[in-house]
Structures are given as structure tokens and as C-alpha cells.
Structure 1
Amino acid sequence: MISTAFLHYCGKGPMRHEDSLLAAGLGRRGIAVRYYTIKRIHRRQLPLGRDTFIAGDMDAMHGAMRQLGIPVPAPDDYPAALGEFLRRRVWTSTLGEVERALESGSTPPTFVKPADRRKGFTGVVCYSERDVAMLGNVSRRQRVRCSEVVRWVSEYRVYVVDRRVVSVGHYDGDPTVPLDFGVVEAAVDAYRRSGQAPSAYGIDFGVLSTGETALVEANDGYALGAYGIDADSYTELLMRRWDELLGSARAPGG
């Protein structure tokens, strides 16, 4: 049973929206909340264990996982089981290969984002090799996920806990354009049946200019932005995923 929760806060200025939600949700669960700085994660100064919960950004969460012997989950933004819901071509390449293809004119404008969690840049549409050059000294050997460029009219995050959709939050585009929830439910079911879905996660869907509802990307639930979700549902989601991750921790010396 979780007795203590650690939230990332430097002690100055406003708290992140996500941490404010968690502070409220954890408080209602009667769980003591303590705050930490990223320096304490890097120095392994937090008393983390099976009776503690922690939340923070990717850097903080990966540090906590390493301390506890939890294998860091591999990124899976475009799960294989959900390929039919993408409604666009998606592939893996390297930044150098994309740059050369754009320079030779053998590929159309391409959306590019890092394939690995330790991102060297944020996702960007590259219309020519000059756009790749604007990324600076990012290694051209870096693996990237690419997709053909489409126009999103509206985008939403769908929050899922143990196959249940607990919330849907709009985060970009026209909020009056709704999702086809039949598509969303079919995707959530397909992800569950694949056996690859985390116990709790966020999955982004949008409406294309064609009117189709399509998968934007999947997001693991251990470090997840909060859009239009209430404190209790958000807390439930992150705690459920953390409990699953704790169960994967290697025994000391293992």
C-alpha cells in the first residue's frame, strides 16, 4: 500500500498543473505528499520503495526507475496493433536518411520526431533539407519516427485505466469538431487484445481534414500531460501505472 508520494517541485513559483492535480488527488486518498528536486533524483537521495509513489517528467521518472531496478519501458508511440488507426504512412528512419531524401527530392515533406525517449529535438515538419539543418548538431545517426504530413482539425487525449476510458480532454485545434468515439473504442479494445498496452495510458486521437478520426500517438501513463482531466482520475491513472511498474522491478542483485 502506498504511504508516501513524491512530487517534483522546486519550492518556488507555481507548481506544474499535473503536480497540482496529483497533490489534490493524493490528499483525498490520505497519502502523505513530499516534494523533491531533480538533483535529489540524480543523487538517489529519495527513500523510494514499494510503499512510495513518485511523479515527474521523463528524466525524473527514469531516474526513479533505475534506482528501483525497474526496466525503463521502450517507447511505443505507434503500437503495431494500432496501425490501421493511423490513417497515414508511418515509418522509422535516421535523421541523416531523411535529410538526404529531402535533398534529392525523393520524399515529400515529412513529420519527424525522435524515436527514443531521450529526445534531441521536438517533432517538426521538414519541407527540405534546410529544415533538418535547422536542428543544429543533432546526430544524423539518431533514429527517428517519420510520418506523411496530414492536417489535423482537432486533437484530443483519451485517458485509459484498465481498459476503461476515464476522461477525454481536448488539447489542440477546433474543440467543436468531435471524435468518432466508435473508432476510439475499437482502438482501445485492439490495444488491450494485443497484450502490449500498459495498464494505464493516454492515447491521442484527432480528426483529419478528411473527417476521419485517426490515432495521433500513444503515451505511456507514468509521465503524462494532463488536458481536461480531473484530479481523481489523473491520480488513479498514474498510480495504476506506477503499481504495474513496481511489479516489474528486479530483485536486488538480480
Structure 2
Amino acid sequence: MKAYIQTSENGEFYNVNAFIAYEGLSHFGFETEKYIDADDLIDFHPEDIVVGGIGNVRKRLRHLKIFHPEKEIDYPEELKPFLKRKIWSSTINTLFENKDKWNIFIKTETKLFAGKIVADEKDFLGIISDDRDTEIWCSELMNFKTEWRCFIRYGEILDIRRYKGAWDTAFDVKTVQSALEAFTSRPRAFAMDFGLNNNNETVLVEVNDGHSLGTYGISALNYAKFLSARWSELTSTEDYLNF
């Protein structure tokens, strides 16, 4: 069993997620090897887990001749009732040219830039370009007092971690369970982020695929199991950590 872990050019793990993955996979006996860019990997064994950003994971899948949709799952059709706000796709340039659509939250599927609110022209600095019209998700504004990440593995909640807001708030677990049941096209490993809005409603923030995901404090062993479940599904190989 082998796992490739992404690093920066100086050889350090590219972020804390990579380090946690290294600790967990090493514990379970995986041989680990550092890499900077997936283009540099010369072995093409699909069962070898690749840990890294969305771009490198997509590169690796292309090298393995494995089809993966260009669009991330973000807002699955089955889960629209749990969003409780309007969300639609657009592009940076289209939005910039339509001021009446401003005062919304935007983000890219590939984390090209951090999600942000755009309310005036200065909010477009650094994200708009004449050379490329970036596809984005647009969302009506909703204030979330507290947010949690729910890690799902094989249809079960593996862990729930608060990543924003007050520690003494609570969400409606029944809403999370209902969303999980409604998401019939769910992958083996993914995360559902939920927030508590100003009306104390438990609202789905977004869904994130399990192949390139922030840990938010999940244990190294659970993170390793989580990554292994999703990678094995993507590559149609055995999940050696399915226990």
C-alpha cells in the first residue's frame, strides 16, 4: 500500500491536511512518498492514494485515464431543500457586468480563490481577468452564526467538527440525518457543511467531495479511512481501510 503526499517546493507538507493524512496513512502501514506536482509521478498504480489539492487529484485521475466530472458536487440536486436560499452558477465577468446582481456570496468550484461577498467594484480586484472568465457559484446572502463540517463515510457520520462560531451552539441532528438520507447519489466519503442561521435554522452550507478536504480537527486515523474510502471509489480499487 502506498500514498503520495503533496508538499511545497521546500519539501514541507503543503498544509496541515497533508500532514494529518501522512500521520494516519503511515499508522495503517502505507508507504508514503512526497511529491510537488502530480505530473511528476511516474508510477501509475491506481490503488496508490494521492493526497493533495483538487488540481493535483484531477491531474492524477487524468493520468490514470479515469473520468471525473469537471464540476465538483457542491450543491447536489437532492439537497436543494436544505439550502434555504437561492444558489446559481455564473461567471466572474458576467456578474461584473450586472451590478443589479451584486451583494451576494461567490466561490469557485476549484477553490481558485476564497469564497467572498461582492458588493462593489473593489471586491472584484484580483479575481477578474481579461484572459479568463472564471466559472463561479453565486448565493443569496445568509448569515451563519456557527458552522460545522459533517464527515460522511459509507453513509454514516464519521465525525462532526465545528469550524466557525460559538462553541455553545447546537444544530438539529435530525436535519443532518434527513439530508444524508436524501442524498442518494452520495459518494463513499464526502462532507456536508451545516450552519445555524439567524433564525436558528440548521441550513446546508455546501457539500465537499472527500478527495481534497480540510480536516478541521478530525483525527489522523479517521482522516486516513475517509481518504481511502473515496480514493478507492474513484479508482475502482480495494479500500484496505474499510473496517
Whether these two folds match at TM > 0.5 is: yes
**1:122-171 alpha-carbon deviations (Å, 9 max, x no partner):** 32211134433563426674332111111110111100001100001111
Please state if 1:226 is matched with 2:219.
no
Assess, with a 3 A threshold, how the Cα gap between structure 1 residues 108 and 42 changes in structure 2: closer, same or farther: closer
Contact 1:157 1:168 in 2 (8 A): yes
**1:58-92 alpha-carbon deviations (Å, 9 max, x no partner):** 12211111111111232121111000100111112
Shift of 1:8: 1.4
Please state if 1:127 is matched with 2:125.
no
Query: Alignment RMSD, CA only?
Result: 2.2
Shift of 1:178: 1.5
**Residues 16-165 of structure 1: matches in 2 within 5 Å?**
16-38=15-37, 41-43=38-40, 45-73=41-69, 74-102=71-99, 106-107=100-101, 109-114=103-108, 116-117=109-110, 119=112, 121-132=113-124, 135-137=127-129, 141-165=133-157
Shift of 1:35: 1.5
Assess, with a 3 A threshold, how the Cα gap between structure 1 residues 215 and 32 changes in structure 2: closer, same or farther: same
The 2-side partners of 1:49 and 1:178 are apart by 44
* 1:166 matched residue in structure 2: 158
TM-score (norm 1): 0.84
Assess, with a 3 A threshold, how the Cα gap between structure 1 residues 179 and 138 changes in structure 2: closer, same or farther: farther
* 2:3 matched residue in structure 1: 5
Which of structures 1 and 2 has the bigger CA Rg? 1
* 1:251 matched residue in structure 2: none
Size of the aligned set, in residue pairs, is 235
**1:34-77 alpha-carbon deviations (Å, 9 max, x no partner):** 22222xx223x331313412111112211111111111232121
TM-score (norm 2): 0.88
The 2-side partners of 1:235 and 1:205 are apart by 23
Contact 1:92 1:146 in 2 (8 A): yes
